[in-house]
Structure 1
Amino acid sequence: MRTTVETLAEQPFLAGLTDHQLSLLAPLTSRSMFHAGNRIFREGAPAEEFWLITEGRVFLDCEVPGYDSFVLETLRAPAVLGCSWLFPPYRWQFGAVSIHTTEVLAFNGPQTRALLQSDPGLGHELTTRFLRVMGDRLHAARRRLADCRRETGHRADL
Structure 2
Amino acid sequence: MNTPTMLRALPADHRQRLMRLPREVSFPQGTRLFDEGARADRFWILRTGSVELDTRVPGRRTAVIERLGPNELVGWSWLFAPRVWHLGATATTPVRAYEFDATAVRSMCRDDPALGQAVTQWVGEVLAHRLRSARARLLDRYAPYGADSTV
TM over 0.5: yes
Q: State the aligned residue count.
A: 142
Q: Structure 1: where are the runs of 5+ without partners? A: 1-11
Does the aligned pair in 1 maintain the 2:6–2:15 contact within 8 Å? no
Residue deviations 1:35-94, cap 9 Å, x none?
Answer: 101100000000001110111111100111233321111112221100000011110000
Output the CA distance in 2 between the equivalents of 1:13 and 1:25.
Answer: 10
Q: How do residues 8-157 of structure 1 correspond to structure 2 at under 5 angstroms?
A: 12-15=5-8, 16-19=10-13, 21-149=14-142, 153=145
If asked which structure has higher relative contact order (CA below 8 Å, sep 6+), I would say 2
Return the letter of the residue paired with 1:60.
L
| Aligned sequence identity (%) | 34
**TM-score normalised over the length of structure 2:** 0.86
Output the CA distance in 1 between the equivalents of 2:112 and 2:24.
Answer: 24
Output the CA distance in 1 between the equivalents of 2:145 and 2:59.
Answer: 15
Task: Identify, as 1 or 2, the structure richer in helix.
Answer: 1
Return the letter of the residue paired with 2:104.
Q
Output the CA distance in 1 between the equivalents of 2:146 and 2:108.
Answer: 46
Output the CA distance in 2 between the equivalents of 1:128 and 1:142.
Answer: 21
Output the CA distance in 2 between the equivalents of 1:101 and 1:122.
Answer: 31
Q: Structure 2: where are the runs of 5+ without partners? A: none
Instruction: Indicate the RMSD between aligned Cα atoms, in angstroms.
Output: 1.9
**TM-score normalised over the length of structure 1:** 0.83
